[in-house]
Structure 1
Amino acid sequence: MGSDQLAQPVTILKGVGAALAEKLAKLHISTVEDLLFHLPLRYQDRTRITPMGAIRRGDEVVVVGQVALADVTKGRRRALIVRLGDGTGSITLRFFHFNMTQKNQFRKGALVRCYGEARPGASGLELYHPEYSLVSQDQTVSVDDHLTPIYPLTEGLTQNRLRQLIQLALAELQKTEVVDWLPKSLFPNLPSLKESLQLLHEPPPDAPIDELTRYKHPSQHRLIMEELIAQQLSLLKLRQQHKHHQAPVFKATGQLGQQMLARLPFPLTGAQSRVIGEITQDIQQPSPMLRLVQGDVGAGKTLVAAIAALQAIEAGYQVAVMAPTEILAEQHYSNFRQWFTPLGLDVAWMAGKLKGKARQAQLERIAAGAPMVVGTHALFQESVEFNKLGLIIVDEQHRFGVHQRLSLREKGQQGDLYPHQLIMTATPIPRTLAMSAYADLDTSVIDELPPGRTPIETVALPDSRRDEIVERIATACYQGKQAYWVCTLIEDSEALQCQAAETTFEDLSVRLKGLNIGLIHGRMKAQEKAEIMARFKANELQLLVATTVIEVGVDVPNATLMVIENPERLGLSQLHQLRGRVGRGDQQSYCVLLYHSPLSRNGKARVAVMRDTQDGFQIAEKDLELRGPGEVLGTRQTGLAQMKIADLVRDQYLLDEVNIAANQLLRHYPHHLPPLVDRWLGSADQYAQV
């Protein structure tokens, strides 16, 4: 079978029909080679039998012993208890799901081989629901001849079935070579790709399981490097292509910006001035700016974007500002109107809810050249025609995905010229992730908060003190303050979150009579959400019960108290975003983390971080450590979340080496890039469509 055969669809393998192929497709497996690159998450050692007397708590073991007794207990939960002994000691098997046929198999004296994890139980060490088989007296007890891989699965697919398929793929690999797109000169001391794949799917019994568990085995190292390089290349390629494009050069006097700043009640911070300088330098170049501006909650990113926008407008170009939600887009619309209308500049608006004549009127304003256009992703609907788009400002870009940002760029293309792009985020991104997730962008950081912002005091309390908190909210609201009550749930289900928010809203409405309480959740129409938010902003509502939909950008300076239920269920960066909705004015603000006891060790660590620091970058680093990159970036759209073997936190020490290797490949082996990127990112590579 030639290596081109590895590119054949999985359906050429024995026993793989359309239904199984569909399940495999959910794991991004469509070819024989994809099976080989579906790598184990971890391993179990079933290559040796452990004497029962030597088992320690937490060990995953194969044991063989004779049945001493088998009994059904009727305690709190009905269970089948089987006691096994092997002369060195004994162990108990415990089954909660069983039938009587199963019970009758365990006759006294029968020989049983099982595999499971030893946990402390009522009768000493126990194996809960172990895998087991009965061994006849004349049979030799078999053990596996290699470590057992545990793979990522999808519904309807078992470990055993997937292992069988990977065995078939490995059999094909024996007959052929898999194309290695990394030149040997890059990593002369690492095993070949073929050796690495074989070893990782079938580690021999003497393979160092400790090294494999810590992902420090040379074969893992080889594949981790390749995956990180593919990831990096996809972004560097995007950056390279982007830099080859032409962009308008904005020669502006800065007069409009000066006029706007003169009207503000406060000066810019040093960090804002520095970042404006970096942007100004970019937009005076003939290649398109691609700059990410990171700034903690309330650092004044929008003001920096406004000054950039005025330079584009002064040079005769249009600017588009895109935000991920209508609430946030409306807030930008209101800010830009407040700043730009006194300068005689028209600000147009585009969102999904605009219909009929109102929509038509805005489309005409945009086509006629309204200097500033604010909206949601509705900005890249086909009917929206820009007149002369020179700068795109995207807020919270990781909510959109790279391809959406690119499609807006295509809309702004005029002849050979592409618009400049400025991306803003209030989610501080640790250096590790910025290097990898945003390698196609230059980065600026606004690391200074405007003067006059009082730090938010954060306290963590168990939900047994809920009544106390309700009273405290009542007192604050009767004194003219405003508060948020945020509901979260462990299930990632919008329906259940909305239900929790509705129940809390009803409960608080009964207990806090005399207060005007609003409710916002993800299932409400955008119009309804906007109306409630506007009422809260105007202080017609004193308390807002919400799901996490309020996390980004909403600005109500009079809101000084926030309660977050079940904070242990959110990421730190998300908690930090939520907390940043209070403390927007000069009054002391408070955030109460209302957790459910008992907290896990990880939960305690996270709550402690929130209590101890307000530095978004520190929080993001800690979040990355505790939860991993896919979660920190908030979505799966980065192409990073679903890595096959690499892990940006664990493997960050390799990133400098990866950078060097990726640049060498770009320079000397450009024809290797498409197949290498395709092997690891496949359809996740939005960048290929650039």
Structure 2
Amino acid sequence: MPRAPAPADTSLDPALAPVTTLAGVGPALAEALARLGIVRVQDLWFHLPLRYEDRTRITAIRDLQPGAHAQVEGRVAAVERGFRFRPQLRVAIEDDSGATLTLRFFHFRKTQVDQLAPGTRLRCYGEVRVGHQGAEIVHPQYQRVEAAGAPVEERLTPVYPVTEGLSQKRFATLTGLALRHLPDEAALELVPVGLRGGLALPSLRAALQLVHRPPADADVAALLRGAHPAQRRLALEELLSHHLSLKRLRAQVREHRAPALRGDGRLREAFASRLPFAMTGAQQRVSVEIEADIGASSPMLRLVQGDVGSGKTVVAARAALAAIEAGHQVALMAPTELLAEQHLRNLRTWLEPLGIAPLWLAGKVQGRARRSVLEAIAGDGALVVGTHALMQEGVVFRRLGLAIIDEQHRFGVHQRLALRDKGREGDSVPHQLVLTATPIPRTLAMTAYADLDVSVIDELPPGRTPVQTVVVSAARRGEVVERIRAACAEGRQAYWVCTLIEESDLLQAQAAEVALAELTAALPGLRVGLVHGRMKAAEKAEVMQAFRNGAIALLVATTVIEVGVDVPNASLMVIENPERLGLAQLHQLRGRVGRGQVASSCVLLYQGPLSALARARLEAMRESNDGFFIAEKDLELRGPGELLGTRQTGQLAFRVADLARDADLLPEVQRIGAAMLEQHAELAERLVARWIGGATRYAGA
């Protein structure tokens, strides 16, 4: 039994008391909690369960469904240790239904093997999947039970985000201690009752009690779906805090000045007259919006989103010329060398005839070449294109007026700040133009980019051909190879994209090399090339140039070609194991074909059996080429963190809210947020501090 907590200082708000005032929280535990952002008692209240495990019942093995989490009980029937490829332990258990379930372990100790002897009765919990011998659970949670009929849990078991050295059981105990310090409703509420309108939601105090300790009679199905009124009450407050935070950041950015970039139009007119095509209406509209922004003396923060091939680079080039006309420098930063080099090629083609030579700065630019570029940036260089290298020490701009960031969701917030600060002079900062080829659903943009003005290029240039997408089983691989032979015989080129579930450059490279060997043997008359993430930049560039020139007919690649590759003659793409990728990434890959005048195809070569989620993804790809439809579907299927790539950047990691599920709350969030900023600014500050705390460091990023 935990001992009663020591009485806290009564002069201290219990919410703001340090976690060390809780019983049993010493320096080591406090350090582990701090890694989770938990330093005050209040932080424990709002560190919410990721999900719930239903251990209130036992499921018969014969009733198990693939993809579901379940608790089963049975006797060990057989144990087998294997060492093919890597050590593994397989344990077969049987229950009274007569069915068998395999428990598979890749990490195990000898003592563990000894505990799992035949005849041992086990109770196991985990995710069911289909293995070679039928239903299996990989690395289940399990315990030995003496006899059938041992009591099960009486309530759902919350599962929290934890860190090394902090078990679920210990964290649940700490949460229980913290909940004892919950104040009454009046002291806890920060959203005035009058602003909540007709939302029939419980009080914040009742909501917190329920999500941390669901009672036995709680609506289990609603909790597991995240749709319980208590979860919606917390989601409303979390969404509101993010909205208020971004609105505040927007206001802070507006307090800075920026250079008013008003050029004479000379370069832009020459640029338009030399383009081999006319800009679409959407490109022209977005260009007007950008030029109005950068002509003002407050900093532009504009996101331009457009589908693959909609012509964002042309819009960015026109914006760059407006800045250069006004006597300022421009930096364009992209997340990969492939994408940055693609921009460099286009900009050189368009701008060198106008007397502007774009500079190039990437990690591989070293020695004398690097010194030369740095001197030009500090001198009269007008435009520099590069990767993360643009943010390194030693890069000093003479007069940076516009920072263009492509595929912004691949950069961490601090990286974008670092580029902006390269052009900071006193309280003046450069304008920022952010580009993305990942169309963001409206519901997501309203929340994730409340601090940005958003422009949409919603029109494809004439001549772009829709890509026909077909879904084919790996059993028909031979037919797909023949299709490549036929396309290349007609003078076309093709991609073969390899994907792996493990995020390892080494394994990805090995898979691509195996595919290269197989396809080279199957297509002896064709030159087959290879590109993967472990190749040196120079090697990659050489292969890509050969593919662009037509010297390579078939390019085997990993997902490194997702962005930044433009080969109009490539009209066929095969994606192996597409079920392993999200919709946004599949759509980006597919965008590498259909860039010329010839009808193009994308073959999704899947490995069965497919899960329901994978089937829904592939069906969405088959039925639509519309990036916004794909984005809405991706949001529905995967959630916002995956879609924005924010697992890495930390921009948008909700604890309880889900933008797809809780989209109906967003109009209320905007209404309440506007009223709070106007009438209850102090409460708004406290709400942001409660949910986000120190995470608002990226003001103006």
TM-score by length of 1: 0.86
Q: Match of 1:79, as an amino acid?
A: A
Call closer, same or farther: CA 1:595–1:641 in 2, change over 3 Å. farther
Cross-structure match for 1:571: 582
Q: For residues 552 and 70 of structure 1, what CA distance do their matches in structure 2 show?
A: 52
Task: Give the alignment of 1:318-329 within 5 angstroms.
Answer: 318-329=329-340
Is this contact kept in 1: 2:575–2:602, CA < 8 A? yes
- The letter for the 2-side match of 1:182 is V
Higher radius of gyration, 1 or 2: 1
Equivalent AA in structure 1 for residue 226 of structure 2: Y
What secondary structure is seen at the aligned counterpart in 1 of 2:359? strand
Q: How far apart are residue 12 of structure 1 and its match?
A: 5.1
Query: Structure 2 residue aligned with 1:457, among 461, 468, 479?
Result: 468
* 1:374 partnered with 2:385: yes
Match among 17, 40, 53 for residue 49 of structure 2 = 40
**Alpha-carbon deviation of 1:552?**
0.9
Is residue 561–residue 589 contact of structure 1 (8 Å, CA) maintained in 2? yes
Within 1, Cα distance between the matches of 2:577 and 2:128?
29
Give the Cα separation in 2 of the matches to 1:120 and 1:308: 51
Match of 2:630 among 616, 619, 636: 619
Name which of structure 1's ranges 374-383 and 37-46 shifts more when overlaid on structure 2: 37-46
Alignment match of 2:77 (pick from 72, 75, 78)? 72
- Counterpart for residue 160 of structure 1: 169
Structure 1 position 442, deviation (Å): 0.8
Which residue of 1 is the match for residue 612 of structure 2? 601
Q: Name 2:178's counterpart in structure 1.
A: 169
Which residue does 1:443 correspond to in 2? 454
Deviation at 1:41, TM superposition (A): 3.5
Preserved contact between residue 361 and residue 384 of structure 2 (Cα < 8 Å): yes
1:628 Cα shift? 0.9
2:332–2:384 contact (8 Å) kept in structure 1: yes
Q: Tell me how far 1:174 sits from its aligned partner.
A: 7.1
Alignment of 1:54-93 (within 5 A): 72=77, 79-81=92-94, 83=96
Once the two structures are TM-superposed, the CA of residue 226 in structure 1 deviates from its matched residue by 1.3
SS in 1 for 2:613: helix
Q: Is the 8 A contact 1:23 1:157 kept in 2?
A: yes
Residue in 1 that maps onto 2:440: 429
Alignment check: 8 A CA contact 1:519 1:532 kept:
yes
Pairing partner for 1:486 from 494, 497, 521: 497
Q: CA deviation at 1:395?
A: 0.9
Q: Distance in 1 between matches of 2:229 and 2:489?
A: 65
1:458-514 Cα offsets, whole Å, 9 max, x none, are 111111122222232233334432211111012233322122112212222333334
- Aligned: 1:544 with 2:549: no
Q: Please say if residues 95 and 129 of structure 1, whose CA atoms lie closer than 8 Å, have aligned partners that are also in contact.
A: no
State the alpha-carbon separation in 2 of the partners of residues 425 and 561 from structure 1: 24
| Residues 416 and 43 of structure 1, relative CA distance in 2, 3 Å threshold | closer
Q: Does 1:665 align with 2:676?
A: yes
Give the conservation status (yes or no) of the 8 Å contact 2:92–2:100.
no
Is the alpha carbon distance of 1:594 and 1:23 closer, same or farther for their aligned partners in structure 2, counting shifts above 3 Å? farther
Residue in structure 1 matched with residue 542 of structure 2 by the alignment = 531
In the alignment, structure 1 residue 305 sits paired with structure 2 residue 316? yes
Alignment TM-score, normalising by the size of structure 2: 0.85
The match for 1:212 among 217, 220, 223 is: 223
Matched residue type, 1:168 = L
Q: Is the 8 A contact 2:71 2:126 kept in 1?
A: no
TM alignment of 1:216-227, pairs within 5 A: 216-227=227-238
1:150 pairs with one of 159, 181, 188: 159
Report how far residue 62 of structure 1 moved. Answer: 9.7
Q: Is the 8 A contact 1:609 1:619 kept in 2?
A: yes
Match of 1:636, SS state, is helix
Matched-pair contact (CA < 8 Å) for 1:291–1:423: yes
CA apart distance, 1:424 = 1.1
Cα 1:635/1:219, change in 2 over 3 Å: closer
Letter in 2 for 1:72: A
Q: Which residue pairs with 2:208 in the alignment?
A: 197
Cα separation, 1, equivalents of 2:129 and 2:454: 51
- 1:663 aligned counterpart, secondary structure: helix
Q: Tell me the SS of whatever aligns to 2:180.
A: helix
Aligned equivalents of 1:608, 1:279: Cα separation in 2:
37
| Most deviating of 264-273 and 637-646 | 637-646
Equivalent residues in 2 for 1:200-599 (5 A)? 200-599=211-610
Distance 2:376 2:33 in 1: 49
Superposed CA offset, 1:255-311 (max 9, x none): 211111111222111111111121122222221111111111111111111111111
Q: Deviations over 1:549-603 (max 9, x none)?
A: 1111211112111111011111111111111111111122221111112222222
Whether the aligned pair in 2 keeps the contact of 1:46 and 1:115 (CA below 8 Å) is: no
Q: Are the structure 2 counterparts of residues 17 and 79 from structure 1 closer, same or farther at C-alpha, using a change threshold of 3 Å?
A: farther
In the alignment, the residues of structure 2 paired with residue 26 and residue 481 of structure 1 have an alpha-carbon distance, to the nearest angstrom, of: 53
Distance in 1 (CA, whole Å) between partners of 2:674 and 2:31 is 37
Q: 1:86 is matched with which residue? A: none
Q: Report which stretch shifted further, 585-594 or 208-217.
A: 208-217
Whether the aligned pair in 1 keeps the contact of 2:262 and 2:295 (CA below 8 Å) is yes
SS in 2 for 1:294: strand
Any idea what SS the aligned residue of 1:312 has?
A: helix
Which residue of structure 2 lines up, in the alignment, with residue 183 of structure 1? 192
The code of the aligned residue for 2:92 comes to A
Matched AA of 1:676: L
Secondary structure in 1 matching 2:269: helix
The answer to whether the 8 A contact 1:93-1:130 is kept is: no
State percent identity of aligned pairs. Answer: 55
SS at match of 1:575: helix
The 8 Å contact of residues 235 and 687 in structure 1, kept in 2 or not, is answered as no
Between 336-345 and 216-225, the greater mean CA deviation after superposition: 216-225
User: Take 1:333 and 1:126, find their aligned partners in 2: how far apart are those partners?
Assistant: 51
| 2:232–2:662 contact (8 Å) kept in structure 1 | no
Give the CA deviation at 1:441: 0.9
